[in-house]
């Protein structure tokens, strides 16, 4: 049976007190809606539809960045969840299979939970995800009759007896596409809010003789994000999960509570991550690497045996081969460092390639930007770049070449050559002493005048 996803992401999220649409607030470096799509990916969906509304253009652009195959449906008026799902009908035209309705502000639904719902769909027309709530509060209640789900009652419309029920509705629903949209066509808005509730399809299904049931999951999976406080709590949950996952996969975390992961961080076994390291999106660290304290990595690849930091920054496009050393206060951007290369202190290497076993001295800068264009610096294998060298791109330094400390390199350096690009030193005997005497006298006069 093929599967499709509908992710509802049209709400304004007024309690976030933000100009940014709620589903675009980041969790683990990815917008909230992306987490729902990631969970649904385990179902190998044939189609995915994101229903947008508030901030539609921004959400549409973010969805295209995440996956340009996602279809977009717009809910111009927010008239309830059934109305939101109905907007996805055109995008699923001709689709025959199960449809899962997920929520862009509910990031922790597990793939295993969705698989359990898919299994239950074999025997029931409609499957709802529920949870036992510690404090049911204003959640909708699932009214069960044995294994049969009789109806879902919104809190506003519930009787005192129904409000006493602790089995609550997560909002996640699965049904065959034809059944889902047929039931939605019959949903009315005769309720306390005047909205079209998706939850009404359960009662309608039963009235048609179609079976409905509920699958349950831990309450923590159903956490929805409505405020920045809840977003912060969700980030803490996410980070705790990623740290535990890394430890279970054989990664050493020196101070786990200080390491910050992104949703797609990959770290190989036997790597060591020291304290206060931040992983932005799109980072891969291979087995046996060491990321030292206070380093920040994003959009980069670190190979086996490499060492990064402390206090290093790897920016997008940084590619470190095996046994590369990147040291303290070094920044690497859109650059490839071949095996055994070393950039140990206080340097910037951007838009560059560095050959194997090359040593980059302290204070080296690849001057890659002319104010309009970026230019490339190519440094060969086993070269030695002297401290405080400025490499003005585009420029090439050959294999086994050397630059003298303090040089400004504006022309290519041939293989095996030594480049010296600085003026000859000229010592002026006694001039330093005379200058200091004059300056001290000026200072003394100013201090006397100030009294």
Q: Report the C-alpha gap between 50 and 62 in whole angstroms.
A: 11
Choosing from 54, 345, 375, 376, which is the catalytic residue? 345
In whole angstroms, what is the distance from residue 2 CA to residue 45 CA? 7
Among 228, 216, 249, smallest CA distance to 109 is for 216
> What sign for the dihedral angle of Cα 320, 324, 330, 336?
negative
24: left (phi over 0), alpha (psi -120 to 50) or beta: alpha
Taking the C-alpha atoms of residue 1 and residue 43, their distance in angstroms, rounded to an integer, is 10
In degrees and rounded to multiples of 5, residue 68 shows phi and psi of -75, 0
CA 122 to each of CA 21, 127, 179, 205, 213: distance values in angstroms, whole numbers, following the listed order: 36, 10, 14, 16, 11
345 annotated active-site: yes
Tokens found for residue 347: 């340097």
- Residue 129 Ramachandran class (φ > 0 left, ψ -120 to 50 alpha, else beta): beta
424 exposure class (CB count in 10 Å sphere: 0-12, 13-18, 19+) = exposed
Quick one: tokens of 311? 């206090």
Q: Which residues are catalytic?
A: 345
């Amino acid at each position: 049976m093929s599967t499709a996803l509908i992710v509802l992401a049209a709400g304004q999220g007024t309690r976030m007190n933000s100009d940014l649409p709620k589903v675009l607030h980041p969790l683990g470096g990815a917008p909230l809606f992306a987490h729902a799509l990631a969970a649904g990916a385990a179902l190998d969906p044939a189609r995915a539809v994101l229903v947008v509304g508030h901030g539609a253009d921004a959400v549409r652009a973010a969805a295209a960045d995440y996956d340009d195959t996602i279809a977009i449906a717009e809910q111009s008026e927010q008239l309830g969840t059934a109305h939101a799902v109905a907007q996805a009908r055109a995008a699923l035209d001709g689709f025959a299979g199960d449809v899962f309705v997920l929520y862009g502000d509910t990031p922790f639904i597990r793939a295993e939970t969705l698989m359990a719902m898919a299994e239950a769909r074999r025997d029931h027309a409609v499957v709802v995800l529920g949870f036992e709530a510690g404090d049911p509060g204003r959640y909708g209640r699932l009214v069960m009759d044995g294994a049969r789900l009789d109806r879902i009652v919104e809190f506003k419309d519930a009787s005192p007896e129904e409000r006493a029920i602790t089995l609550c509705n997560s909002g996640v629903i699965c049904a065959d596409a034809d059944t889902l949209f047929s039931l939605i066509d019959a949903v009315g808005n005769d309720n306390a809010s005047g909205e079209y509730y998706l939850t009404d399809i359960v009662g309608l299904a039963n009235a048609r003789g179609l079976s409905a049931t509920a699958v349950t999951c831990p309450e923590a999976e159903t956490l929805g994000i409505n405020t920045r406080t809840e977003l912060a709590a969700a980030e803490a949950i996410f980070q705790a999960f990623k740290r535990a996952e890394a430890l279970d996969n054989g990664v050493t975390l020196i101070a786990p509570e200080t390491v910050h992961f992104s949703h797609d961080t990959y770290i190989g076994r036997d790597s060591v991550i020291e304290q206060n390291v931040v992983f932005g999106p799109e980072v891969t660290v291979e087995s046996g690497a060491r990321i030292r304290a206070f380093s920040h990595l994003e959009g980069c690849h670190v190979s086996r045996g490499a060492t990064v930091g402390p206090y290093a920054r790897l920016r997008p496009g940084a590619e470190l081969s095996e046994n590369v050393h990147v040291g303290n206060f070094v920044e690497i951007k859109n650059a490839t460092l071949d095996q055994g290369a070393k950039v140990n202190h206080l340097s910037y290497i951007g838009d560059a390639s560095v050959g194997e076993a090359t040593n980059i001295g302290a204070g080296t800068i690849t001057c890659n930007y002319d104010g309009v264009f970026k230019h490339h610096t190519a440094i060969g294998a086993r070269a030695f770049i002297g401290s405080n060298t400025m490499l003005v791109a585009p420029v090439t330094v050959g294999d086994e070449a050397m630059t003298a400390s303090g040089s400004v390199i504006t022309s290519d350096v041939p293989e095996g050559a030594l480049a010296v690009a600085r003026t000859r030193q000229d010592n002026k005997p006694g001039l330093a002493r005379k200058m200091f005497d004059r300056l001290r006298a000026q200072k003394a006069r100013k201090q006397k005048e100030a009294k």
